[in-house]
Amino acid sequence: MRFTLLTSLVGLVVGAYAQSSAADAYVASESPIAKQGVLNNIGPDGSKAHGAKAGIVVASPSTSNPNYLYTWTRDSSLVFKLLIDQFASGEDTSLRGLIDDFTSAEAILQQVPNPSGTVSTGGLGEPKFNIDETAFTDAWGRPQRDGPALRATAIIRYANWLLDNGNTTYVSNTLWPVIQLDLDYVANNWNQSTFDLWEEINSSSFFTTAVQHRALREGATFASRIGQSSVVSGYTTQANNLLCFLQSYWNPSGGYVTANTGGGRSGKDANTVLTSIHTFDPAAGCDAATFQPCSDKALSNLKVYVDAFRSIYTINSGIASNAAVATGRYPEDSYQGGNPWYLTTSAVAEQLYDALYVWDQLGALNVTSTSLAFFQQFSSGISTGTYPASSSTYATLTSAIRTFADGFLAVNAKYTPADGGLAEQYSRNDGTPLSAVDLTWSYAAALTAFAAREGKTYGSWGAAGLTVPASCSGSGGATVAVTFNVQATTVFGENIYITGSVAALQNWSPDNALILSAANYPTWSITVNLPANTVVQYKYIRKFNGQVTWESDPNNQITTPSGGSFTQNDVWR
């Protein structure tokens, strides 16, 4: 027995050394390749971005199976957030011209009419454009409402650096108009349905809700800083509503975040891990309301997510149940065969490194009933409680978790070709790189994970000390009878419905929207009990022969009184 235990301990030590050694080697070799990989895909001078305008990020130079020679607002913003962080922190001071090109290009793209609309009628939700800054007009999953939020976050980061260095005029005259367009879009449209970041499900998306919340928090603070006080209250109000809505994605019985409100899948999805790392605030501790990387909910979710891939990929066969494996978007994925992605596997490592950073800053880690299963992977006898950094339990857990994190980088390293090129995916059967070559997001995800491993952080966005409002869920508490009247002419067989931002209005579900009465046609009416003292957004929709038509933007909005009844009279837009 003693010999067996000793052998096991030796195995653990050797395994830990092997993982960390592989991660060390991968970071050293891949860092310059990944950085150059990002730069190669940015126009006009990137070696793989031929035809791209200045500051335009090419998702991938791949032009067939799949064709990714486009620029996505989401990908571009995440990539430039990385570059802006490197620039503003002094890591790479050569990037300023490229960043200025990016902000100029995005200002142009905001104004390009596209299938989602114009700049004032929903066009900011258009997910991608041609690399010559013209509209992409083929069928696509649109709108995607995470892009404006992520772009605002990236540019606010740069604008704050400029302010710190005395450049107020450029910020106020050039950057603020771009930022405000995106923030206003988020504030006015956050609770409308959206395609998720994988462009497949049209519902509400955890990632989108979370990055929108972050953007409005940062936006309110930034607007105050530059004297744009008139927008602060509106951004803050909607940020509070977003924070409230964010809580509804948590699945307490399953111990994970349900990534989308629609789609008919399990909801176990890399979307949720990407949320934790892209809304990481090192000043917020292990806050669960914003799903910080070391929060009990985010850790529980991470385990459920990772475990979902252990048995479905051949390359994960034979790996211990508490060791790193390759992960993909979601277990039901069939795109290009449904394989691991470099960026999703990197994201797991990054969340764990972020968690380790915060525990080190706090000088303790806390195990709750929610996160217990996560910690039991590394110490089967662990119990709930707080473990200070001076304790042996803390040392054991954090050492094992760092090895676990390094393991995910080692998995990616194993399936990275000798030249360091990162495609989108690698085969679930043998690890061969697949799908789009030189995916810009793959390179950026490697670099952010490497930075997190080194303990680098890039400032707070305001997640610390937030309180989830009590009245926004629409459940319990005082209610008000609200009568909605809308003048709308219809054809025979066509009906008018209403849906909106609270449960009583079916949480923006067109399928479950409430039908209005035409007894006083052309005025359609309905009375609904809504939560009192609450900002409620809503829209009317038409249904005819299976087709759904929404009112034009922006959303309608009321603030319900504290009691009694209320009548709202509208005209169909």
Q: What is the pLDDT of residues 469-489, one digit of tens each?
A: 876 543 335 667 788 999 999
Do 551 and 436 fall within a single domain? no
Work out the percent of the chain whose per-residue pLDDT is above 90: 82
Task: Assess if residue 470 is contained within a domain.
Answer: no
Residue 13 has pLDDT above 90, yes or no: no
Which structural domain range is residue 394 located in?
2-135+144-453
Work out the percent of the chain whose per-residue pLDDT is above 70: 95
**Pair 496, 523: CB distance under 8 Å:** no
Tell me the residue ranges of DSSP E strands in 384-491. Answer: 385-388, 425-426, 433-434, 479-487
* Residue 386 or 189, more confident: 386
pLDDT of residue 478: 61
pLDDT digit string (tens) for 60-81? 999 999 999 999 999 999 999 9
pLDDT of residue 17: 65
Task: Assess if residue 462 is contained within a domain.
Answer: no
* Residue 332 annotated among the catalytic residues of the structure: no
Distance CA 573, CA 569 (A): 13
Do 408 and 514 fall within a single domain? no
Residue 493 has pLDDT above 50, yes or no: yes
Do 356 and 493 fall within a single domain? no
- What CATH number does the domain containing 76 carry? 1.50.10.10
Tokens of residue 151, six digits: 């772009």
Model confidence, pTM: 0.82
Tokens of residue 348, six digits: 């797991």
As beta bridge partners, residue 11 has none
Q: Which of 437, 453, 469 is the last residue before a domain boundary?
A: 453
- What CATH number does the domain containing 499 carry? 2.60.40.10
Based on the number of CB atoms within 10 Å of its own CB, is 396 exposed (0-12), middle (13-18) or buried (19 or more)? middle
Task: Assess if residue 460 is contained within a domain.
Answer: no
Residue 334 has pLDDT above 50, yes or no: yes
Pairing outcome for strands 565-571 and 479-487:
parallel
pLDDT digit string (tens) for 194-212? 899 999 998 889 999 999 9
Is 140 annotated in some ligand binding site? yes
pLDDT, mean of residues 336-348: 98
Do 93 and 242 fall within a single domain? yes
Do 189 and 282 fall within a single domain? yes
Task: Assess if residue 37 is contained within a domain.
Answer: yes
Task: Assess if residue 461 is contained within a domain.
Answer: no
pLDDT of residue 5: 39
pLDDT digit string (tens) for 14-38? 456 677 899 999 999 999 999 999 9
Catalytic residue among 92, 199, 200, 360: 199
Catalytic residue among 85, 126, 184, 196: 196
Residue 371 has pLDDT above 80, yes or no: yes
Backbone region of residue 507 per phi and psi (left: phi > 0; alpha: psi in -120 to 50; beta: other values) = left
Residue 349 has pLDDT above 60, yes or no: yes
**pLDDT-based confidence at 518, cuts 50/70/90?**
confident
Tell me the residue ranges of DSSP E strands in 118-215. Answer: 128-129, 194-195, 202-203
* Residue 199 annotated among the catalytic residues of the structure: yes
The H-assigned helical ranges of 90-146 are 96-110
CB 232: neighbour CB atoms within 10 A?
15
Do 432 and 493 fall within a single domain? no
**Pair 95, 161: CB distance under 8 Å:** no
pLDDT digit string (tens) for 230-277? 999 999 999 999 999 899 899 999 999 999 888 889 999 999 999 999
- Identify the CA nearest to 488 among candidates 558, 540, 544: 540
Do 428 and 556 fall within a single domain? no
pLDDT, mean of residues 163-167: 96
As beta bridge partners, residue 433 has 426
Do 107 and 223 fall within a single domain? yes
Task: Assess if residue 464 is contained within a domain.
Answer: no
Task: Assess if residue 458 is contained within a domain.
Answer: no
Task: Assess if residue 472 is contained within a domain.
Answer: no
Do 245 and 280 fall within a single domain? yes
Cis before 522 (ω within 30): yes
Do 259 and 379 fall within a single domain? yes
Do 368 and 498 fall within a single domain? no
Number of structural domains (the chain) is: 2
pLDDT of residue 16: 65
pLDDT of residue 341: 98
- Identify the CA nearest to 102 among candidates 126, 79, 134, 127: 79
Do 287 and 356 fall within a single domain? yes
**Three-class HEC string of 257-325:** ECCECCCCCCCCCHHHHHHHHHCCCCCCCCCCCCCCCCCHHHHHHHHHHHHCCCCCCHHHCCCCCCCCC
